[in-house]
């Protein structure tokens, strides 16, 4: 019992010391980065399996196609030819499915790698003790395509956390929440009437002397109708 109590005290002391010695934001980011590393590794294994299935489906289709050509040259009867043709069509469908699966896994892997790179860059910045200039907070005039929808995003940056409100032509209003890491912005748009309707991603870039947000958006509430995705640009309100 005493040994357990001493162990608990030692663990508590170590936890307190860790919290005092390290920035808790860095600790959270490192935990997130480790999770992303594990997910990347899992995606790699999944991609390997997808490529094996793709290779097998491709080999099967080529073999069946060659058999069909050979049998036709040898004067195979119509019933056998029809059966072989059906096999080829099934193999084509299997290959299409395998290709789609591989493409989806590759896209997921690319997104995870991007997230991991952003986290590692932010961890390095925080551990170096640098403080980013707040280039994000303030009003941004936005143009959203398709539809040439215009409006404003009023954003507030606290560390890497972004909050805000928006107003778009047509009376659409609501709140924004997200993150800003390594010049990369991710926002969730929560409409006052429809709820969580879209995610917005963008990178802050410099065009001449102007800072801009350039990126894409993807709808999350497809039942609301309209486009499922598109592009958007934000331009900062100029000081008077």
24-66 pLDDT per residue, tens: 667 777 888 888 899 989 999 999 999 999 999 999 999 999 9
Question: Tokens at residue 90, please?
Answer: 């099934």
The overall pTM is greater than 0.85: no
Residue 184 is classified by DSSP as: E
Q: What are phi and psi of 23, to 5 degrees?
A: -65, 120
The CATH number of domain 138-236, selected from 3.90.1150.10, 3.40.50.300, 2.40.128.120, 3.20.20.370: 2.40.128.120
Contact residues for 81 (Cβ-Cβ < 8 A; gap 6+): 68, 71, 72
CB atoms within 10 A of CB 151: 16
Residue 190's DSSP bridge partners are: 175, 196
| pLDDT of 211 over the 60 cut | yes
Q: Residue 23 — very low, low, confident or very high, per pLDDT cuts 50/70/90?
A: low
pLDDT at 15: 41
Cis amide bond preceding 200, omega within 30: no
Q: Give the C-alpha separation, 207 to 202, whole Å.
A: 14
Q: Where are the domains of the chain?
A: 24-127, 138-236
For residue range 169-179, what is the model confidence (pLDDT) as tens digits? Answer: 989 999 999 99
Closest C-alpha to 144, from 214, 26, 232, 40: 232
Give the 3-state secondary structure of residue 14: helix
Q: Which of 139-153, 156-170, 220-234 comes out lowest in average pLDDT?
A: 220-234
For residue range 55-89, what is the model confidence (pLDDT) as tens digits? Answer: 999 999 999 999 989 988 988 888 888 998 999 99
Q: What are the C-alpha distances in Å from 231 to residues 7, 158, 166, 239?
A: 55, 26, 17, 26
Provide CATH code, domain 24-127: 1.20.120
Closest C-alpha to 166, from 155, 158, 182, 181: 155
Residue where the block lists tokens 């009023």? 154
Question: Tokens at residue 239, please?
Answer: 């000081």
Q: What are phi and psi of 218, to 5 degrees?
A: -135, 130
Contact residues for 160 (Cβ-Cβ < 8 A; gap 6+): 25, 122, 179, 180, 181
The H-assigned helical ranges of 128-222 are none
């Amino acid at each position: 019992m005493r040994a357990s109590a001493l162990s608990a005290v030692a663990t508590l002391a170590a936890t307190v010391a860790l919290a005092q010695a390290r920035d808790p934001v860095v600790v959270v980011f490192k935990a997130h980065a480790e999770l992303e590393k594990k997910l990347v590794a899992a995606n790699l294994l999944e991609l390997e399996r997808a490529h094996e299935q793709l290779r097998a489906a491709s080999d099967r289709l080529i073999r069946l196609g060659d058999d069909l050509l050979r049998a036709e040259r040898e004067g195979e009867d119509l019933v056998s030819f029809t059966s072989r043709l059906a096999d080829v069509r099934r193999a084509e469908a299997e290959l299409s499915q395998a290709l789609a699966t591989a493409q989806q896994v590759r896209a997921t892997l690319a997104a995870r790698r991007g997230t991991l790179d952003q986290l590692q860059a932010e961890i390095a910045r925080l551990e170096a003790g640098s403080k980013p200039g707040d280039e994000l907070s303030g009003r941004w005039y936005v143009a959203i395509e398709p539809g040439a929808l215009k409006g404003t995003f009023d954003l507030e940056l606290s560390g890497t956390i972004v909050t805000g409100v928006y107003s778009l032509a047509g009376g659409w209003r609501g709140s924004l929440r997200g993150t800003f890491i390594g010049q990369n912005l991710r926002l969730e748009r929560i409409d006052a009437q429809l709820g969580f309707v879209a995610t917005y991603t963008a990178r802050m870039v410099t065009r001449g002397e102007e800072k801009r947000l350039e990126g894409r958006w993807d709808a999350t509430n497809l039942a609301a109708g309209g486009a499922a995705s598109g592009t958007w640009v934000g331009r900062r309100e100029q000081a008077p």
